[in-house]
Amino acid sequence: MSELPITSKADLEQCNDEFLAVPPARVVDIVLSSGTTGKPTRIMYTDRDLQRLAYNEQQAFAACGLAADDIVLLTCTMDRCFIAGLAYFLGIRSIGAAAIRNGHGSLESHLGVIRQMKPTALVGVPSFLRKLGQYVTAQGVEPRTTGVRRLICIGEPLRGRDMALLKLSRDLEAIWGAPVYSTYASSETVTTFCECTAQCGGHLHPDLAIVEILDEHGAAAVAGAVGEVTVTPFATEGMPLIRFRTGDISFLLTEPCRCGRTSPRLGPILGRKRQMLKVRGTTLYPQAIYSALDEITGIGEYYLEVRSNGDLSDDLTVHVADVGAGVTVPFIQDKLQARVRVMPEVRLHPEDEVRARVFDPRSRKPVRFFDVRKNDAQLP
């Protein structure tokens, strides 16, 4: 594989139309994926690509226990040129289960669906599913009694580098009384990696893709090492790709899974390559700070802001909602120093200000990382 060229999002952005490998008349679905400069790139699928996608999702969902008698509530959107919602719907159909496409509905509407239609599984962003569980509880309904048997989570990691559940994941399992399963995919590769019932990494499907982990120089990382997830999907027609660098940072688990399969599994996404931070000599990703903040009792919502200081280092500021729990700035800094070996600037704000920044209605999931390093570099 190392002799083959590497493809990046920048290549797709610069030569978008040239990647289309079929006549335009064969394209049946077009989605948008963010580019390296923020300019969306078009990802074009044929009918066969969508059939392949449905098969991939069927395999993934079946591995985590979904079956034909399940009723699945989708809390993710199928509109706005978003492929994931469509992929989950196709996979649920292929299994023979029933899908409830409530999408980005209100908490109230989701509770109404849960009461009336009794879904056995939920699909959504973990932080939203926790918020939904808390809302359900506040309305006098015990989430554990609703019949939800599993939570299939997208968009945010459930585990840390050591594969242990993060606090968000532990909260979810405690609230709903159901196991959580992580699923990962990218629009460009039309390929999904989902945890099985053993809950120890997203299974790779050897008939659908080859996955490599590349180091910062583009060379294959040693077994188990952290690097960039690079995918070569098989049997894609519309826009076939070779060694596509996703920009996501993770690692491969190569020991046999408890479910009996021996193919490699993808670990949790630890961060985005472009979000890597260098703070006073320490390299880390935002997710490490999120995990540390989530473990601090009394912390509300939060977000990070990073700037360049012109000295081959980044200035990191952690903005935290003041929820009146008695948590002080020095206390937060000490906890971060102990967990991630850096002591960033910490600022407390009214909760509504932080929530307004994190939950942007234009975004599909919470936005907790604001990178203004590029803007800093353009200043005189």
pLDDT of residue 377: 43
User: Is the overall model pTM greater than 0.85, yes or no?
Assistant: yes
How many helices (H) and strands (E) in the chain?
A: 10, 21
> Does the pLDDT at position 380 exceed 60?
no
Structure tokens at 131: 């918020």
Q: How confident is the model at residue 378 (pLDDT cuts 50, 70, 90)?
A: very low
Whole-angstrom CA distances from 117 to 65, 85, 109, 152, 255 are 20, 20, 12, 18, 40
**How crowded is residue 30: how many other Cβ atoms within 10 Å of its Cβ?**
12
86: amino acid identity, one letter: L
Per-residue pLDDT of 146-186, as tens digits, reads 999 999 999 899 999 999 999 999 999 999 999 999 999 98
**Phi/psi class of residue 225: alpha, beta or left (left: φ > 0; alpha: ψ in -120 to 50)?**
beta
pLDDT of residue 63: 94
Is residue 246 within 8 Å of 231, Cβ to Cβ? yes
Per-residue pLDDT of 305-340, as tens digits, reads 999 876 678 999 999 998 888 889 999 999 999 998
Contacts of 83 (CB under 8 A, 6+ apart): 29, 31, 43, 53, 187
How far is residue 119's CA from residue 253's CA, in Å, rounded to a whole number?
Answer: 32
Per-residue pLDDT of 201-210, as tens digits, reads 999 999 999 9
276-377: which CATH topology?
Answer: GMP Synthetase; Chain A, domain 3 (3.30.300)
Domain boundaries, the chain: 9-271, 276-377
What is the CATH code for 9-271?
3.40.50.12780
Per-residue pLDDT of 89-131, as tens digits, reads 999 999 999 999 998 889 999 999 999 999 999 999 999 999 9
9-271 against 276-377: fold identical: no
Whole-angstrom CA distances from 75 to 72, 132, 152 are 10, 10, 11
pLDDT of residue 349: 94
